[in-house]
Amino acid sequence: MTVVLLMAASTAPASATDSEVLQEVLDRLGTLSTSFDRFSDAVLAISVTRLDTRESASFRGDERFGPASAVKAVWVLAAIENSGVEAVEPIEYDAIYRSNDVAAGVAIDLAGGLDSINAYIHGLGMNDTDFYEWNYPREHIRRSSTFPGPARGRNLTTTDDLVTFWRLVADGLVLDRPGRASFLAWTTGLKGGADANRIVARLPIEVAAKAAFKSGWLPIGREWQLAGTDEEPGEIIILTGRGVSVGAGIITVPGGPSYVIAVTAYDGRSWAGMTTWVEYSSCVVYSVIAEEPMACSTSRDPGDIALHRSPPTGALESVVVRHGFVVVDGWAADPDAWWASTLVQVTVDGVPFGGMIAAVPGDAADLSAPRFHRMLLAEASPGNHEVCAFARNDGGGSVVAMGCRTVAVTG
């Protein structure tokens, strides 16, 4: 029996390094992100660095946004650096746990003012972060020498810069030992209010309780006061498209690696979409780094994430005949099913053949291309046969074609 493969073999996905795996994950999250806020132009960004391997990845990590309260951790650390732990301790609980705006203003003062903070963080490599003003309490307006900056009334940062900040904290490259220990103690654990814990909300509770992080949020419709003058207060506006949900910090896998992550969704009109994006993305990254299958989506997620409508992708890579039996190999990945099996149906000459085949990721290294392999238990008759593969959406709906091969069997 002679078997002739009439279609050229497709290129198999390259084996992934840790950085490539992380980047693949973030790119897939970016592709899915429109499902969280399909009725506006929300911007979504995420950056990650593993502390053991130094592998890193980012999606829109260099785009600047208004960070809301996430930067209060930066101000508290700068205050410790400038004034010492004892001076900052009276306001740390209010500034970090309660995210109190007036306490954050005191932290700015203890750090030497906004200009001093800007100089300090630029020296740390946070070159795309700038603080222009802080108007709390309303009668005490703090401004930098570069006020009003490129976005009047808003401070700016990036997820890349937030990851840089928390990585330096984790490495012990900022503050002396007592100061660093105090800062980590103040930022570790669950904070007050559900919004304050978005970045750890879907992680195992024992992981969330030991994470050092700070979140920020500015719901759509909240009042925002533009800076005014000494004689006239700034105009009060109602934000209709400038909400932000952001979280950043250090997360440790029990018995495994630690990593730094920053996630944000901003300038969208769906508050539920933006906040659940932060929760969902953080959970997916944890699942991949921990190599622990987790169900990160919930029924309350908006859009196609909750309904699992995102179409799978894949490829039928080879079809051979051994002793008269057809053997297929390939890969298939459903963006909604990070660790679950993606089911594949094979047809021979248009007829479903051999039942469903599971394409299963064995570990994080093949997360982007879970493999399937099957010998179809029926002997092929002489002649040409078209063998095709289709991936089934894990949420139901139409199957997706992944390619066909033609084999010639001669007896």
Q: Each residue of 107-130: pLDDT tens digit?
A: 999 999 999 999 999 999 999 999
Place of tokens 């934000």: 239
C-alpha 344/C-alpha 269 separation (Å) is 37
Q: What is the mean pLDDT of residues 73-87?
A: 98
| pLDDT confidence tier of residue 363, bands split at 50, 70 and 90 | low
Whether the pLDDT of residue 8 is over 60: the answer is no
**Shared domain check, 221 and 330:** no
Is 75 part of a structural domain of the chain? yes
Residue where a domain terminates, one of 289, 307, 325: 307
Return the pLDDT at 391: 93
Cβ contacts of 173 within 8 Å, gap of 6 or more = none
Whether the pLDDT of residue 205 is over 70: the answer is yes
Is 28 part of a structural domain of the chain? no
**Shared domain check, 333 and 192:** no
Residue where a domain terminates, one of 276, 307, 338: 307
**Shared domain check, 218 and 76:** yes
Whether the pLDDT of residue 188 is over 70: the answer is yes
Is 20 part of a structural domain of the chain? no
Question: Which stretch, 1-15, 186-200, 224-238, 395-409, has highest mean pLDDT?
Answer: 186-200
Return the pLDDT at 120: 98
Q: How many domains does the chain have?
A: 2
Provide the residue count of the chain: 411
Lowest mean pLDDT among 5-14, 118-127, 343-352: 5-14
C-alpha 303/C-alpha 309 separation (Å) is 9
- More confident site: 35 or 71: 71
Could you give the percent of the chain with pLDDT greater than 70? 85
Residue where a domain terminates, one of 307, 326, 354: 307
Is 22 part of a structural domain of the chain? no
Whether the pLDDT of residue 171 is over 90: the answer is yes
Is 196 part of a structural domain of the chain? yes
- More confident site: 280 or 411: 280
**Shared domain check, 361 and 238:** no
Alpha-carbon distances of 363 from 38, 68, 238, 295, rounded to whole Å: 32, 36, 47, 16
**Shared domain check, 70 and 9:** no
**Shared domain check, 174 and 262:** yes
Residue numbers of the domain that contains 72: 37-307
**Shared domain check, 352 and 283:** no
**Shared domain check, 315 and 236:** no
- Residue pLDDT, tens place only, 222-257: 555 555 656 666 666 555 556 889 999 999 999 999
Alpha-carbon distances of 381 from 4, 139, 240, 385, rounded to whole Å: 14, 87, 66, 9
C-alpha 391/C-alpha 369 separation (Å) is 13
Q: Which two tokens stand for residue 334?
A: 């459903």
Is 94 part of a structural domain of the chain? yes
**Shared domain check, 175 and 116:** yes
Return the pLDDT at 138: 77
Whether the pLDDT of residue 357 is over 50: the answer is yes
- Would you say 268 and 241 are in contact if contact means Cβ atoms under 8 Å apart? yes
Q: Which residues pair with 231 in a beta bridge?
A: none
**Shared domain check, 401 and 259:** no
Q: What is the mean pLDDT of residues 289-307?
A: 80
C-alpha 16/C-alpha 84 separation (Å) is 45
| pLDDT confidence tier of residue 321, bands split at 50, 70 and 90 | confident
Is 382 part of a structural domain of the chain? yes
Is 29 part of a structural domain of the chain? no
Q: What is the mean pLDDT of residues 352-366?
A: 77
**Shared domain check, 278 and 214:** yes
Return the pLDDT at 367: 67
Whether the pLDDT of residue 4 is over 50: the answer is no
Q: Exposed (0-12), middle (13-18) or buried (19+): which is 359, by Cβ within 10 Å?
A: buried
C-alpha 250/C-alpha 296 separation (Å) is 19
Going by the DSSP 8-state scheme, the letter that residue 8 receives in this structure is: P
Could you give the percent of the chain with pLDDT greater than 90? 52
Whether the pLDDT of residue 1 is over 50: the answer is no
CATH number at residue 388: 2.60.40.10
CATH number at residue 279: 3.40.710.10
**Shared domain check, 151 and 11:** no
Return the pLDDT at 346: 93
